[in-house]
Structure 1
């Protein structure tokens, strides 16, 4: 949410083409949903699979971090202004430590 506010402060339009020929605004609810839903789904899958094999938590850390890092490129294909693309990419970067540190905490707890 801080990055969303920062985007508005630096003059980013915080809008992107919606795929139906219109323009969609990047809003707080969408940011929260689009951040929390994939994070929760991946976290849940990693934790459930770790019940079968504790080593899956490390695998989940690596795969989740790589996917979050790779997703930073997606905003640059959005077809919007550079400031909006940069802010949206930074929003993806925020997920990298969230995945790594979050699953790392679960892993430490599971192995102790």
Structure 2
């Protein structure tokens, strides 16, 4: 439910322009996970210490669990899902980024 404190947020996520309605207090992690179904970033410690919520915002590591979503306005956000390379022609699977591959091999979450 939108209130007068809600706003429309426009930013780029993993190379795609998005427009989302967000509450003033909503964190970027919530928008990524709940609105955009990008669940690679996790909420684990609730205070920004563990780093499982890290995304790149304009190329810099950012704790998305602490950042108000409104701070992403006009910026470029890259999640773990966005690190993979383009898929090869005729192949459905994308080329994994070394970080994604390491997570897969080690069973990291």
TM over 0.5: same fold?
no
Name whichever structure is richer in helix by fraction.
Answer: 1
Structure that is richer in strand per residue = 2
Q: Give TM-score, length-normalised by structure 2.
A: 0.25
Higher relative contact order (CA 8 A, sep 6+): 1
Larger CA Rg, structure 1 vs 2: 1
